[in-house]
Structure 1
Amino acid sequence: MALLEQPPSPGTRTAALDRVRSALADLAPAERRVADRLLTDPARAIAMSISEFAELCEVAQPTVSRFCRNVGFPGYPALRLGVANDFAADGHQAREVAPDTVSPLADRLRTDASMPGAARQVRLARWVEIWPAPELAGAGAVLATGLAELSVPAACSGVPSHWPIRARGLPTGSVVVLLAYGNADFGANPGLAAARAAGAQVVYLAAVPSRQLLKEADITVPLPEGPSAELVGLLLADAMVEAVRQASNLAGPTGPASPWRPWADTQTLFLPSRPDPIPALHLRAPRDARRGTLVVFYNGFRGNKEQALPPGVPSNRVSVSIVAALLNAGHDVLVPDAPGHGDRKRAWQDVTELHQSSMAGHGPDLLKMSRAESKSIIDAVFSLGLVASNDRLAVVGQSWGGMQTLFKLACDPRPACGAAIMPVCDVTQIPEFADLGGAARVLTSGPNTKLAAQLAGRPLLVIAGGRDTLSTPQHIAAFVQAARVAYEAAGASRQLRHIVLDEVSHEFDPRQVDAVLEWLDQHLAAP
């Protein structure tokens, strides 16, 4: 990828404005007007779309495009990124030159209690409009580019007269970010009212905020005062992008797979089984990272196989985050629908009601099916050529899928290892099944000490959350202790690992991924 096609990163200069200055003498008069506007106020220029910038320069859009080519850029987007790169680099140099001044400002932004809430709102938005006051136009452009790198659909417009038109086209679930250093009167602009009418949330960041906007905004973030508005703006862009990155559930090695964008290399499969084939999705790891391994992955309760695919649903980012990390680490992933889930039930059937009825003794025993189909799934994996050998096959699951992992690993000896994240070790801990503790199917087919004995000797990682109120650490510990007795009796105590993550509830945590990837590296064959 060429330098000018990359998003701006701190410390990287493209000398964009220097290249414009050196070309001034050779430009046509209309292109010279474009150059003069850019050099006079580069921060404002890069906060505009090509149509907005052409209007400001009083030229046609093709003139702007021709100007970009004549100064060495393939187009206006590349020019904007080049100038934004220089802004980011200048901010980086300023932090190096005056750390005593800058570090406290950066720390205040990173640690402000309102920043995580603002970042989450931006992360989940269907579209983000960034409207900066003139003094923060450059920061707005850098922020938009940084968000786009994280798959957040964002755009920055520094032309207030265009805001009403842009606002009227906002999709439901959008966010408008207002950036100001001083007391900018955004409230007087009809764009804000139009954004409200479109249902957009408003995030307001200012050093000297407007009292009216403090009342009207959904989330406000105070900006510290500093040596210059430009420097504070660049620090803000850094802090916001980093906060959004943390809210994105990114874990494991970097790579093209992301829990926030569709993964292209997928295939729907029907795994041979009786009485009916098992629907599943097969996701291939990025070509450069593939290591010839396969992870069979199971979602949580109510989750179907499609919920392991980005962009998924905002309320449950666990599966997609784990799957993206597995893919970037080089593992192909197979996601079957568990019994009574997804395409393995009728469209009108409710997953909870179906399982309640089953556990009470009516219809198929879904827990028993989860155990019994283990052999069919592994047979299908090899018959379809998804993996070459046992030592390259693993099973991973979270929550209800963690229970599925225990079933599959216990009931078929072929997977080389397994990892159960927040596994359901007692189905009656799920509130909907709390009164079924005495049901025969729960006692015989649910996870129990007999299952723990079947696991003995199999490489198994179990991860619990210290604050988990669903798959409680106490119930997971009781199951692990029963398994540990069997592992020790088999002389394989090192094959069982139990991790409790403090301060973690029934949710995603990057340490879950780190532990799973380390476990897979340890027990799967090297590429």
Structure 2
Amino acid sequence: MALLEQPPSPGTRTAALDRIRAALPDLAPAERRVAERILADPARAIALSISEFAQLCDVAQPTVSRFCRNLGFPGYPALRLGIANDFAAESHRAADTAPDAMGVLAQRLRTDATMPAAARALRMATWVEIWAAPEQAGAGGVLAAGLAELSVPAASGAVPAHWATRARGLPPGSVVMLLGYGSEDFLPAAALAATRESGAQLIYLAAQPSRRLLKEADVSVPLPEGPSAELVGLLVADALVDAVRAASHLAGPPGPVSPWRSWPHARTVFLPAGDEPIPAIHIDAPAAARRGALVIFYNGFSGNKEQALPPGVPQNRVSPNIVAALINAGYDVLVPDAPGHGDRKRAWQDIVALHQRSFTGSGPDLLATARAETTALVDGALELGVVSSAKRIAVVGQSWGGLQTLLKLASDERIACGAAIMPVCDVTVMPDFANLGDSERIAVSGPSPRLGPSLAPRPLLVIAGGKDSLTTPEHIQVFVDGIAPAYRKAKAQANLRHVVLEEVGHEFDARQVDAVLEWLDRHLPAAKASRARG
């Protein structure tokens, strides 16, 4: 089933139904049947695909498409969106007539303890089928549109006879959402069996749930009772979309780049660096937002450059969240593979074993390589032609990438500024390397307070998590205290900032992005030409 092309905007109208009523006398017989069916049951028109709706009207699909164009809509998806907009507008007008009652209903939905579990399941789903009871067909279409805007692949269906067939084609990791209201058991046994056979998770929402469906559901969400099932359904759609948005950990300014879908403006590049070039991915910022600045970004330990490119991998979306925010903020991003990572090791090599051998002197000194290659990295970045000078380059990284940030910033004074998120400031804090405290390579080439004179006076932001059990706030504090004298000597104390985010572990938090973007905007402002283009 085709998705709505964009979500309806609550409180607005496209007058789709008014257009249909006005055109009714002049329509050909086949198109009149389409119009009459929509006017008789607009919610069903929202919920059905063009093929399903054409079958319901007993006309050919081209007739439905022609009908849409005659009304001024480019196609059936746009017409469905128009009707959905009218539904959303009606719900807001109804809310205006009884603001207290609607506010209570909306608040109950948004604070229900089961809502986050449903939202997480939707966020991680490979596909979402929304099967709605008749009175919830309109809400199902609105919900599918809102999820699609958040890059959750979703479709709404209101024809139970088709559900079993649709369930048989579901990919692994799918979710089937049953959107009801009363106690009607509207799920055919064949559709339930096919859903179970596909392995899809079943989520059930209703105000007066069916006992059978409640028993079958993997996740159930109780709905409040309201003036009408349709109105409650639209409030549910709004609340679920908001909950999925929260579960998406979106950060930074709004823009076209999402950590949950691919951004096509990226290319693999190889930066000259002696005998072995540095493989990297260069990601373009949206043209309208481009600032004329470049951020070199590094992943955590074991991460390759591809994992930072939205949408990343299911196990780790920390980097894609940060990178997507940087791109939307107008920064071009360059993601190199760190030494011993990604394409800079043989496919069969174990990354932990590779680093253990390096730190004990049995292989290449990966920390020394990280420092020595910085000049070539900056030169290669300049050759891309993205920025006019190295003063337009910053380096940002998280965890092991934070370690790379400290080494890179200290190794080339041309880099304008840096931000290290949850950085590994001492390699031996990592469990795999905890017994290597006597490693000469770690002592000489790794991050330590001795980097202070090489870092100062350039701006450096260091972010820690108050509940981080790996790069603990105490561990990071020791490093910051160690380099602080160099910043005081350079009379640049304001250029060293240490932020501790309470209640945050070794994980993504939107406040990390907020702090980094504020830091970059202060120390790497947009070029005048870029601001003019925006």
Provide the TM-score with structure 1 as the length reference.
0.97
- Can you list the C-alpha shifts for 1:16-39, whole angstroms capped at 9, x where unaligned? 111111111111222222212111
* Corresponding residue number in structure 2 for 1:413: 413
Given residue 237 of structure 2, which amino acid in structure 1 is its aligned partner?
A
Task: State the secondary structure of the residue aligned to 1:183.
Answer: coil
* Corresponding residue number in structure 2 for 1:224: 224
8 A Cα contact 1:160 1:189, kept in partner: no
Given residue 151 of structure 2, which amino acid in structure 1 is its aligned partner?
S
Given residue 434 of structure 1, which amino acid in structure 2 is its aligned partner?
A
* Corresponding residue number in structure 1 for 2:428: 428
* Corresponding residue number in structure 2 for 1:96: 96
Distance 1:87 1:66 in 2: 24
Report the CA distance between 1:319 and its aligned residue. 0.7
1:463 correspondence with 2:455? no
* Corresponding residue number in structure 1 for 2:441: 441
Distance 2:98 2:426 in 1: 57
Query: Do the aligned partners of residues 51 and 464 (structure 1) sit closer, same or farther apart at CA in structure 2, a change above 3 Å counting?
Result: same
- Can you list the C-alpha shifts for 1:359-412, whole angstroms capped at 9, x where unaligned? 222101112211221111112122342321132110011111011001011111
Distance 2:93 2:438 in 1: 67
- Can you list the C-alpha shifts for 1:89-143, whole angstroms capped at 9, x where unaligned? 1222223332100111111111112211211111111111110111111100000
Report the CA distance between 1:249 and its aligned residue. 2.1
* Corresponding residue number in structure 1 for 2:135: 135
* Corresponding residue number in structure 1 for 2:166: 166
* Corresponding residue number in structure 2 for 1:251: 251
* Corresponding residue number in structure 1 for 2:194: 194
Given residue 283 of structure 1, which amino acid in structure 2 is its aligned partner?
I
- Can you list the C-alpha shifts for 1:337-360, whole angstroms capped at 9, x where unaligned? 001100000011111121122122
* Corresponding residue number in structure 1 for 2:43: 43
8 A Cα contact 1:187 1:212, kept in partner: no
* Corresponding residue number in structure 2 for 1:208: 208
8 A Cα contact 2:6 2:145, kept in partner: no
Report the CA distance between 1:518 and its aligned residue. 0.8
Distance 1:39 1:384 in 2: 57
Structure 1 range deviating more: 247-256 or 411-420:
247-256
Report the CA distance between 1:442 and its aligned residue. 2.0
Following TM superposition, where does structure 1 have runs of at least 4 consecutive aligned residues deviating by more than 3 angstroms?
A: 186-189
Task: State the secondary structure of the residue aligned to 1:397.
Answer: strand
Distance 1:40 1:187 in 2: 24
* Corresponding residue number in structure 2 for 1:393: 393
- 1:44-443 alignment, distance < 5 Å: 44-443=44-443
Report the CA distance between 1:275 and its aligned residue. 3.1
Task: State the secondary structure of the residue aligned to 2:287.
Answer: coil
Query: Do the aligned partners of residues 145 and 5 (structure 1) sit closer, same or farther apart at CA in structure 2, a change above 3 Å counting?
Result: closer
- Can you list the C-alpha shifts for 1:46-67, whole angstroms capped at 9, x where unaligned? 1111111112222222222222
- The CA RMSD over aligned residues, in Å, is 1.4
- Can you list the C-alpha shifts for 1:241-292, whole angstroms capped at 9, x where unaligned? 1111111221111111111111111111111112311100111101111111
8 A Cα contact 2:449 2:480, kept in partner: no
Report the CA distance between 1:6 and its aligned residue. 4.3
Distance 1:184 1:479 in 2: 63
Report the CA distance between 1:456 and its aligned residue. 2.1
Given residue 391 of structure 2, which amino acid in structure 1 is its aligned partner?
D
Distance 2:481 2:295 in 1: 26
8 A Cα contact 1:452 1:479, kept in partner: no
8 A Cα contact 2:407 2:446, kept in partner: no
Distance 1:172 1:57 in 2: 34
Given residue 285 of structure 2, which amino acid in structure 1 is its aligned partner?
A
8 A Cα contact 2:6 2:146, kept in partner: no
Distance 2:94 2:475 in 1: 53
Distance 2:196 2:432 in 1: 39
Report the CA distance between 1:329 and its aligned residue. 0.8
Any gaps of 5 or more consecutive residues in structure 1?
none
Given residue 112 of structure 1, which amino acid in structure 2 is its aligned partner?
D
Query: Do the aligned partners of residues 425 and 184 (structure 1) sit closer, same or farther apart at CA in structure 2, a change above 3 Å counting?
Result: farther
Distance 1:143 1:298 in 2: 36
Report the CA distance between 1:448 and its aligned residue. 1.1
Report the CA distance between 1:150 and its aligned residue. 1.1
Query: Do the aligned partners of residues 131 and 405 (structure 1) sit closer, same or farther apart at CA in structure 2, a change above 3 Å counting?
Result: same
Distance 1:478 1:215 in 2: 54
1:497 correspondence with 2:497? yes
* Corresponding residue number in structure 1 for 2:475: 475
- Can you list the C-alpha shifts for 1:472-505, whole angstroms capped at 9, x where unaligned? 1111111111122221122110001111111111
Structure 1 range deviating more: 144-153 or 370-379:
370-379
Given residue 443 of structure 1, which amino acid in structure 2 is its aligned partner?
A
Given residue 71 of structure 2, which amino acid in structure 1 is its aligned partner?
V
8 A Cα contact 2:469 2:505, kept in partner: yes
8 A Cα contact 1:252 1:514, kept in partner: yes
Distance 2:444 2:94 in 1: 66
Report the CA distance between 1:441 and its aligned residue. 1.9
Report the CA distance between 1:453 and its aligned residue. 3.7
8 A Cα contact 2:160 2:188, kept in partner: no
Structure 1 range deviating more: 154-163 or 88-97:
88-97
Distance 1:262 1:384 in 2: 22
Task: State the secondary structure of the residue aligned to 1:461.
Answer: strand
Distance 1:107 1:76 in 2: 34
8 A Cα contact 2:160 2:187, kept in partner: no
Given residue 437 of structure 1, which amino acid in structure 2 is its aligned partner?
G
Query: Do the aligned partners of residues 410 and 211 (structure 1) sit closer, same or farther apart at CA in structure 2, a change above 3 Å counting?
Result: same
- Can you list the C-alpha shifts for 1:398-451, whole angstroms capped at 9, x where unaligned? 111011001011111011110011111122222222222222222222211112
Given residue 20 of structure 2, which amino acid in structure 1 is its aligned partner?
V
Distance 2:103 2:271 in 1: 56
* Corresponding residue number in structure 1 for 2:530: none
Task: State the secondary structure of the residue aligned to 1:435.
Answer: coil
8 A Cα contact 1:465 1:506, kept in partner: yes
Report the CA distance between 1:293 and its aligned residue. 0.5
Task: State the secondary structure of the residue aligned to 2:281.
Answer: strand
Given residue 363 of structure 2, which amino acid in structure 1 is its aligned partner?
G
Given residue 134 of structure 1, which amino acid in structure 2 is its aligned partner?
P
* Corresponding residue number in structure 1 for 2:454: 454
Distance 1:451 1:459 in 2: 14
Given residue 143 of structure 2, which amino acid in structure 1 is its aligned partner?
L
Provide the TM-score with structure 2 as the length reference.
0.95
Structure 1 range deviating more: 141-150 or 501-510:
501-510
Report the CA distance between 1:519 and its aligned residue. 0.7
Distance 2:433 2:524 in 1: 36
Distance 1:386 1:524 in 2: 14
8 A Cα contact 1:8 1:81, kept in partner: yes
1:28 correspondence with 2:34? no
Given residue 262 of structure 1, which amino acid in structure 2 is its aligned partner?
S
Distance 2:184 2:470 in 1: 47
Any gaps of 5 or more consecutive residues in structure 2?
528-534
